[in-house]
Amino acid sequence: MPNMTENTPDRARTRFPGISSRAYEHPADRSALVALRSLSGFDVVLRKLSGLFNERAFRLHFLAGSVRAGEGQFRHLYDMTRDACYILDLAEVPEVYVKQDPTPNAMALGSDRPFIVVNTGLLDLLDEEELRAVIGHEVGHILSGHAVYQTMMQILLSLGARLAWLPLGNIAIGGIIIGLKEWFRKAELSADRAGLLAGQDLEASKRVLMKLAGGTRLHEMSTEAFLEQAREYDAAGDVRDGLLKFLNLLPQSHPEVVVRFAEIDRWAREGDYQRILAGEYPRRAEDGEASVTDEMRNAAQAYKESWERTADPFIGKVRGAADAAADVAAGIFDRVNRRRDGGTTTAN
C-alpha cells in the first residue's frame, strides 16, 4: 500500500487535517464504534483474524480476477482515491480494484490493509463528481474502521447458519444480527456524509442516490420530486404500512435509497456539514477522550429526534415505549460504567 502524499484535487476543496471519523458518523454508528474501541484488544483481535484469513483470500481473489487501478490503469480512479485520502487525511491510500460486474456497487474490504472494489456497472452509471462521492463514501468506511466490526457480523452470520437446528440458539444469534444490521444501516449514512466531505458537491451526492434508484435518465428526474417521494414514503399509509416498512427493512444492510437521500439533504442543511467545512470538527488525537456514555446518550437523542420528525403512523404508536426503553438503556449503561471506571469512561 503506497504512503499517502499530498495531492491537490482538480478543483479547490477544503482539506480536514487530523479529522476524526466522529465528525461525520451518525450518532448511533458513532456510539457503537466508541464503545467497541473502548474494549481494549477487541478490535486488535478482530483485525488479526480478518487479516490472516478473509482479507488475504479476498485480496488474492481480486488481484487475480480484477483490474487494479494505478498509474497505468484506471488512472482517474486512482487519483480520485488519493484526493479523497488527502481531504479526509487518511495516511495510506487503499488499493482500488475494478471488477467486471453490471451491478452498480462499490465496497471497502479488509481491516489490516483495507482496499476498495468498484463494479464496472457503477463506472457506467456515474459521472466523475458522482464517482468521487462514492470513493469518498468507501474511504469513510475505512477511516471509521467499519470493516473491522463487520467481521464480527460475518462470524455471527456463519455461526447462526450452523446453529439453525437449535431454535433458541438461532433466535439469540438472530437478535444480535438484527441489532448489528441496524448499526450498519446507520454506518451507511455515516459513509454518505464522508462522501459529501470528500467531494464537497451536494448535488453530486444526491445524483448518486437518484441514479441508484432510477438509472441514468436524470433528465426524467427531479431532486425536488425525489425529496417529496422520500417524505411520502416516511408518512405512507397507516400503521399497517409502517409495520410493513419496518419488516421490509430488517434483512437489509442499507437504508432505503429515498431515506439516504433525505438524510444527506438534511445533514447538509442543518449545519454540521458547514461547521466541518469551517474547520470545526473533532480531531483524531482526541478520540481517546471520547465518552462512551455521552455517545450512547447522543445516539438515544438522535433516535428520539428522528421519531419526532417522522410522520410514520407506526412510529407514532410505539414512540412512547421506544423513548422509555432508550432512557432505561442509557441509565443502565451509565451505572455499569460508573461501577467499572469510578465514574469516567473513555475510549482507548
- Among candidate residues 25, 95, 138, 188, the one labeled active-site is 138
Rounded-to-integer distance, Cα 16 and Cα 280, Å: 10
The three cell numbers locating residue 3: 504512503
In degrees, to the nearest 5, what angle opens at C-alpha 295 toward C-alphas 293 and 296? 65
Residue 188 is a catalytic residue: no
Select from 192, 186, 200 the least CA-distant residue to 306. Answer: 186
What are the angstrom distances between the C-alpha of 53 and each of 46, 49, 59? 11, 6, 10
What are the angstrom distances between the C-alpha of 181 and each of 148, 229, 234, 296? 15, 25, 20, 18
Q: Where are the alpha helices (DSSP H) in 201-312?
A: 202-214, 223-235, 239-249, 257-269, 272-277, 292-309
Q: Are strands 67-68 and 115-119 parallel, antiparallel or unpaired?
A: unpaired
Q: Which residues are catalytic?
A: 138
